[in-house]
Amino acid sequence: MSAGSKEPAETKVPLLFDPLDVLGCERDESVVAARAAHGRKILLWLVVANVVSSILHYVIDFANYPEPLWLNPHIIDMFWFAMTPIGITGCVLFTRGRRTAAFACLYSFAIMNLLTLGHYLIAPPWDLPFRINFFILLEAFTALMLLVHLALLHCCMDLVPAKSL
């Protein structure tokens, strides 16, 4: 091209929707920082909700859960004492900006909380009292909420500076 001619302007194809808006992500750094702080608070509350729901599930009516004879209740107790620190560690790592390790811990924690649905492999929901079903489903629901929030945070991570989290 000659020195006086202009290069053709780049044309943008308009999107029907911006995927970042759907995920609640912004490119404006001040908005990103505010949303990151809000996302961190939600994450902390969801981990607390998972810990509380798992405590309720383990404590309320534990003796009446249908379990096979080969399953030792002490193994179940040890599992809770192993999985809960993983979730707490994930929160600590997340607040310190160690995202990869934090996500590994938090995804593992949420999936371990979903294992509560394994009760239905032993006894169908209609054979269990309402209270037992309620606490199984409460723990599974809080775990699903945590997984969804983690996935949304993960999708927006490239837009959020580590110091904002």
DSSP assignment of 138-155, as one string? HHHHHHHHHHHHHHHHHH
Split at pLDDT 50, 70, 90, the class of 41 is: confident
Least reliable range by pLDDT among 5-9, 47-51, 90-94: 5-9
pTM: 0.74
Tokens 């500076």 belong to residue: 161
Could you give the CA distance from residue 79 to residue 89 in angstroms, rounded to a whole number? Answer: 16
pLDDT-based confidence at 6, cuts 50/70/90? Answer: low
The tokens of 7 are what?
């290069």
* Axis crossing angle, helix 29-59 with helix 99-114, rounded to the nearest 10: 30
Rounded Cα gap, residues 22 and 13, in angstroms: 18
What length is written for the chain? 165
Confidence of residue 28 (pLDDT cuts 50, 70, 90): low
Checking if the pLDDT of 147 tops 60, the result is yes
Give the span between the Cα atoms of 158 and 93, in whole angstroms. 18
Distance CA 69, CA 51 (A): 27
Q: Return the pLDDT at 53.
A: 93
**pLDDT greater than 90 at residue 138:** yes
Residues 55-104: pLDDT tens digits?
888 777 666 666 777 777 777 778 888 999 999 999 999 988 888 999 99
Check pLDDT > 60 for residue 122.
Answer: yes
